[in-house]
Amino acid sequence: MSINGKVALVTGAGQGIGRAIALRLSADGANIAIVDMKEDKMKAVADEVRKVGGAGRKATTFKADVTKRDDVFAAVDHAEKEHGGFDIMVNNAGIASIQPISEVTSEELDKILKVNVAGVLWGIQAAAKKFKDRKQKGKIISASSIAGHEGFPLLGVYSATKFAVRALTQAAAKEFASAGITVNAYCPGVVGTDMWVEIDRRMAEITGAKIGENYDKFVGGIALGRAQTPEDVAAFVSYLAGPDSDYMTGQAPMIDGGLVYR
Ligand SMILES: NC(=O)c1ccc[n+]([C@@H]2O[C@H](COP(=O)([O-])OP(=O)(O)OC[C@H]3O[C@@H](n4cnc5c(N)ncnc54)[C@H](O)[C@@H]3O)[C@@H](O)[C@H]2O)c1
């Protein structure tokens, strides 16, 4: 119960990895502000969080589009107001984009940069401001990827956004260290969420492979011999959110079952 009573905000918590993070941090003892664009999914996760967390555990929902700076600042204000504090920011929301480098359009580039890069930047800004205003320490944790350490075919633009998350993480860690704020990222490998269903579908469309073939190929390269679950990622985020990681900042380790090695 190392984060017992702390307040955590998780973006993109309506499903997938964000949902698992919300449930795990709740089980660890935190009260959770669930932030996403999908209201019905957020409500379902909030109900689950209340069950997992047990009596007294609070879960609130706030609809926000992380591409909008004002939305993200409002989400942080919501967390503080509704939960009476603010300690942990998880910038998890992200989207994928699958196409050959030579076919990337200006619209596709703008869209993914706004979610995966601007969305994380606004989250870092909003959380750091809140921690400083409250004159307290805090933890900022963002979603990068194995694709943030290595460029993969058809995932070039996605990779670029996840490299950018590592850059923001390192710079913010250095800027905010003196305020007692740590900034880290997590780099999952191949997690069987809706995102990978879409990656596999698009890869099949482009390469002519069967549905599931590209996913199986990626999973086949994992040393530990299985695809990753959202809970595998959440367990590492739990460490980053808790006091055991207090001496760690500016880092973006792989949590991928042994797929990319740095
Ligand atoms: N699935 C993987 O294998 C994998 C691997 C490495 C990194 N990641 C990263 O982990 C994070 C979560 O991935 P996932 O697999 O759970 O994805 P997912 O598609 O299953 O869920 C993403 C969630 O983010 C929300 N979201 C998207 N755009 C948003 C916006 N503009 N504002 C607010 N919410 C928004 C969606 O509504 C959804 O609930 C992403 O940043 C992703 O890039 C995933």
Q: 50-89, pLDDT tens digit by residue?
A: 887 666 789 999 999 999 999 999 999 999 999 999 999 9
How many domains does the chain fold into? 1
Distance CA 35, CA 64 (A): 6
With contact defined as beta carbons under 8 Å apart, do 124 and 183 qualify? Answer: yes
Whether residue 31 is contained in a domain is answered as yes
| Residue 97 structural domain | 7-190+229-255
Q: Is residue 167 part of a domain?
A: yes
Please report whether residue 216 resides in a domain.
Answer: no
Taking the whole predicted model, whether its pTM rises above 0.95 is answered as yes
Give the torsion sign (CA, 151, 156, 158, 160).
positive
pLDDT tens track for 81-118: 999 999 999 999 999 999 999 999 999 999 999 999 99
Q: Is residue 119 over pLDDT 60?
A: yes
Query: Which DSSP symbol is given to 222?
Result: -
pLDDT, average across residues 169-188: 98
Q: Over 80: is that where the pLDDT of 127 sits?
A: yes
In a domain, 261, yes or no: no
- In order of 26, 31, 117, 196, the CA distances from 49 in angstroms are 6, 9, 28, 24
CA-CA distance, 172 to 179, in Å (whole number)? 11
Confidence of residue 1 (pLDDT cuts 50, 70, 90): low
The answer to the question of residue 113 being in a domain is yes
Rounded CA-CA distance 88/25 in Å is 10
3-state class (DSSP) for residue 224: coil
Atom of ligand 1 nearest to the CA of 228: 3
Would 211 be classed as within a structural domain? no
CATH of the domain at 89: 3.40.50.720
Q: Which of 191, 218, 256 to mutate to test the pocket of ligand 1 (most atoms within 8 A of CB)?
A: 191
Residue 86 inside a domain? The answer is yes
Ligand 1: which of 36, 43, 233 to mutate, judged by most atoms within 8 Å of the beta carbon?
36
Query: Ligand 1 within 6 A of 148 CB?
Result: no
The verdict on the CB of residue 150 being under 6 Å from ligand 1 is no
Sign of CA dihedral 218, 245, 75, 109: negative
Model confidence at 180: pLDDT above 90 = yes
> What pLDDT is stored for residue 55 in this prediction?
63
Percent of the chain with pLDDT over 70: 98
How do residues 198-250 score in pLDDT, each as one tens digit? 999 999 999 999 999 999 999 999 999 999 999 999 999 999 999 999 999 99
The reply to whether 66 falls in a domain is: yes
Cβ–Cβ under 8 Å, residues 151 and 166: no
